[in-house]
A and B are shown apart, each in its own frame.
Chain A
Amino acid sequence: MKITQISVFLENRKGRLFGVCSLLGANDINIRALTIAETESFGVMRTVVDKSDAAVKLLREHGFVANFTDVVAIEVPDKPGGLAAVLKIFADNDVNIEYMYGFVEKFSEKALLVFRFEDTDLAQQILAKHSISVVTKKEIEGL
């Protein structure tokens, strides 16, 4: 099952990331996972929050460029080789990963990772076939 990531464009200016985080915090929106893609001239913040619709609405109202991106949150055994085993399945089945990052907290005993796939539907089929558990939108909201 897909979950929603929020992508926020951050220009190369002091305090932009702080601006996003403090706005979310002040409105009781909790950040679950976060990564920043940086280039020499701008950044893109990628985050999974508990209330994504409200977060995007809020950010846009405050002049930020924000949009939704489909990602998949996957539970991976928290032990050596755990991630590699999952990645092998993707590699064997021609599922391309655009980027991935980790959650701040755990949902169970397993580690929780966010994946952005080139083809999300294909990735979901492969995940289901190999009985790899994904986290639902509801579960994210309740974290």
Chain B
Amino acid sequence: MEVPFWNKEIETLDRPMLEKLQLQRLREAISWAFRTPFYQKRLPQAGITGPDDIKSLPDLQRIPFTEKDDLRRSFPKGLLAVEMKEVIRIHSSSGTTGIPTVIYFARDDLDRWTDLLARCIVATGASAGDVFQNMMTYGMFTGGLGLHYGAERVGMTVIPISGGKTKRQIQTMKDFQTTVLHVTPSYLLHIQSKLGEDGVNLADLSLRRAFIGAEPHSENTRRKIEELLGIDAFNSYGLSELNGPGVAFECVCKKDMHLWEDAYIVEIIDPISGQAVENGQEGEVVLTNLVRRATPILRYRTRDLAFLHPEPCECGRTHRRLSRILGRTDDMLIINGVNVFPSQIEEKIMKIPEVATNYQIYVDKKGALDRLTVKVEIYPKLFLGEVSKLEALRGRIREELRSSIVITPNVELHEPGSLPISEGKAKRVVDERPKD
């Protein structure tokens, strides 16, 4: 098998050299961190007064973890390490309780991120000459723009179509003979199920590859996509706090995702004790961004559960491989690629006087797509018998939730006392999506 590289020297750097580079970059990252109000306070509390306190890679463990809550509490500028005039891009994710998180990119930061994505794309065998249809949502979400610039750097023909509008997606695949897709696995299966409806069949298309990401999926789902569409599908991993996509990506071997260790330090920890797990064991992924100056983030607890393959990949890359995401240590739901925290839903529901305090979040599949249903109990005293008012209430709840969690849920009204009483967060969430 031919193994293509974007930057062969870095991608196959021997481990001692790679670790030397990591240490050097970690020390730089710490000096950037000291330019932010957040780390100016946090690092001295842990006895770290500057980059000189980190003499070897194991010293990393002296640095305290950074959590999503820290990012929220630092909103908007607590983690900004450069002058605003140096910032050329802002990405943001909606918060779990109304406060968003923000990541700033200086010109060099975007350049390095773009280069990592070019590396990911080329590792799959895609190249200049491919036609790339980017079905991830553009905007503040990192999934769309990140791959967009990476694909342009590789020299692919980029179609920035963004998400949704299935018929248009299919027609566009035909019109421009798209060869590479970037899409969530559930949406790709949905598109596949619609092929043929408007006279465009698989045989009219030239699809060869799909980058699938933004939601966990199984090896079975990948195989299904590959068989139904006759393509190669590559898993990808990233999160907005660590730039977005491009943290880890599969190569042509398709045996889990190379995590770019010249740009990130990855640790796998026991989520309870915070200690490193044994080599190859499952645990929580902790990531340090080594190359982002404007928003340095050290030892970020991703809440994603995965493991690292201890043995090298057949492709020759020395950067270790991260497994599929096996779960979460918190209650975050991923619905059609969108991250949703039950607390976001709860916060909105509790502000609506016509509904009582009990509610249930129900997730299942409708065809290939995830479906979110929010069930609320109505408040009896405000029921006066008008159907139109109840329908308006449903519409209002739907709209309130959509503005908070980005996706539009189905809203069901229930009688008081009919939903199971919850003794903890878990019972409020019923996830009946098949685990295949």
Contact = CB atoms under 8 A, between A and B. Distances in A.
Interface of A: 5, 7, 9-13, 16, 37, 39, 41-42, 44, 46, 60, 63-65, 67, 69, 98
B415 A44 contact: no
In the A-B complex, list the 3 residue pairs whose CB atoms are closest, starting with the nearest. Answer: A7-B385, A69-B385, A65-B380
B387 A44 contact: yes
B408 to A, nearest CB: 14
B412 A67 contact: no
A11 B387 contact: no
B70 to A, nearest CB: 40
Interface in B18-64: none
B157 to A, nearest CB: 43
B417 A9 contact: no
A64 B385 contact: no
Interface in B394-426: 394, 410-418
Secondary structure type dominating chain B contacts: mixed
Contacts of B391: 39
B383 A42 contact: no
A10 B383 CA distance: 12
A120 to B, nearest CB: 13
A9 B384 contact: no
Contact of B383 (A13, A63, A65, A98): A65
Given A39-B391, A41-B413, A11 B383 contact: no
Given A11-B412, A39-B391, 13 more contacts: A7-B383, A7-B384, A9-B413, A11-B418, A12-B412, A13-B418, A16-B415, A42-B413, A60-B380, A64-B415, A65-B378, A67-B380, A98-B386
Contacts of B412: 11-12, 41-42
5 contacts: A7-B383, A11-B413, A13-B414, A16-B415, A65-B383
Max count, chain B CB within 10 A of own CB: residue among A10, A11, A13, A63: A11
Interface of A is mostly: strand
Contacts of A42: 390, 412-413
Given A9-B378, A44-B390, A69 B415 contact: no
Given A11-B418, A13-B418, A39 B387 contact: yes
Contact of A9 (B383, B394, B410): B383
A113 B152 CA distance: 70
B354 to A, nearest CB: 11
Contacts of B416: 63, 65
Contacts of A5: 385
A47 B96 CA distance: 44
